[in-house]
Structure 1
């Protein structure tokens, strides 16, 4: 995290050469106010005033920090969450140089996408974290519906699909202290006004974008605004412990249920299974080839043709 913050400050010319040499003796947290100031400066494409105008939320997105380029909005959100950022704070960047994915994967996020992270401070234990990811998936899917995408689906645990191709990924991370969750960072990346060819060749086959699906470019600021509204609605259900209501919305849009998948669990445990449904904890319920049932709590499920 330290290196990412230093790189941001250097890129924005907020550090002199002398200061950089002295950084090893300085607490990086001392620069949090400068980082916040950078996040309030004018950016080229994503505009705070357009997002905030008539934004129908009580707390999500009321505090916005928008950057031209960062390594990862999740990393920056973690830093700000540890330095006084309020519940519902949103960090957005027009580009990411080291976007974070599951299993430590990283890649560049180009101009034209929606790359953001939300800080929430739920009173929750670790067992409920998967439900936050599922709830975010519902919020993204409802956002797609509001902009005219009629067939978005949610692939367990963290992808949004259109016509069998990924258009959005979600990464939920907890910020902890003494085994207590102090805040949760929810990273969302939506392939909006992009062409599939903007991505590395190895990602193109299973990827789509809103521009290609809707056959036109959309308004990124409006897309963010709609998503923040939908996220607050589903987050309110989470706060009220209306977990079944969240799961009901998720099941209606599930891409995974009813499919044969290759389950890839941690520690290289792989097996084929049929997806039966999802548990109240957010685990995927699958039937293995030998007829036994399993709950998949973490890992990846690859749809088999």
Structure 2
């Protein structure tokens, strides 16, 4: 994290090389004020004033930090979460240079997309935290429905699909101290108006953009505003233990239930299975070839043709 923060400060001209050389023994949190200052500066495409205008939330998005380019909004959000920021604060970047998805996979984040992370302090039992990813998926799907996308689907556990192509990924990370989860960082990346030619060639065929699906560009500021509203609704439901309602909405939009998948678990444990449903804890319930049932809590599921 220290390297990423120093890189941001150097890029924005806040630190000289001489100062950077002297930072080896410095507590990077001493520079939290500078990082926040940059996040309140001028940007070209994403505007705090446009997002905040008519934003109908109580706490999500009331405090925005917007950057021209960072390595990863999740990294900046994790840093800021340790320096005292409000619950529901949001970190947004016009571009990400080293974004990542689940299992450390890289995530292409050029101009034209929505790249943000929400800092959340959920007051719930820690056993329920895995449901936050599913709840966020519902919030993204409902956002896309509000702007005219028909039938967005959710692929377990963290992708949003349009017409069999991925349009959004979600990365949830816990910030813990002394074995206690203090904050949860919810990273969301939506391919809004990006140019597919900017993506690595191997990703282009499987990527959807809102611009292509709708036949027009989407206002990224309005898209962010709508998402923050939908996220707060689902977050409030989560905080008041409305888990079954969240799961009901998730099941309605599931891209995974009813399909044959290859389950990829840690330590190279792969097997084929039929997806039956999802448990109240958010685990995928699958039937293996031998007829036994299993709950998949972590890992990856590849849809098989």
The CA deviation at 1:18 is: 2.1
- SS of the residue corresponding to residue 141 of structure 2 reads helix
Aligned to 1:54: 54
- SS of the residue corresponding to residue 30 of structure 2 reads helix
Aligned to 2:221: 221
Aligned to 2:143: 143
Equivalent residue runs for 1:40-51 within 5 Å:
40-51=40-51
- How many pairs align? 305
Q: Deviations over 1:188-239 (max 9, x none)?
A: 0000001322210111121111011111111000000000000000000100
**1: CA distance between counterparts of 2:203 and 2:129?**
27
The alignment's TM-score, normalised by the length of structure 1, stands at 0.99
The CA deviation at 1:26 is: 1.4
Equivalent residue runs for 1:26-105 within 5 Å:
26-105=26-105
Aligned to 1:257: 257
Aligned to 2:169: 169
Aligned to 1:206: 206
The CA deviation at 1:178 is: 0.9
**C-alpha RMSD of the superposition:** 0.8
Aligned to 1:118: 118
Aligned to 2:237: 237
The CA deviation at 1:125 is: 4.2
State yes or no: 1:194 paired with 2:168. Answer: no
8 Å contact from structure 2 (residues 112, 195) kept in 1: no
The alignment's TM-score, normalised by the length of structure 2, stands at 0.99
**1: CA distance between counterparts of 2:75 and 2:245?**
31
The CA deviation at 1:126 is: 3.9
Unaligned 5+ runs, structure 1 = none
Q: Deviations over 1:5-24 (max 9, x none)?
A: 00000000000222111111
**1: CA distance between counterparts of 2:180 and 2:17?**
38
- SS of the residue corresponding to residue 106 of structure 1 reads coil
**2: CA distance between counterparts of 1:253 and 1:100?**
25
**2: CA distance between counterparts of 1:288 and 1:16?**
58
**2: CA distance between counterparts of 1:108 and 1:141?**
21
**2: CA distance between counterparts of 1:73 and 1:80?**
10
- SS of the residue corresponding to residue 97 of structure 2 reads strand
8 Å contact from structure 1 (residues 195, 211) kept in 2: no
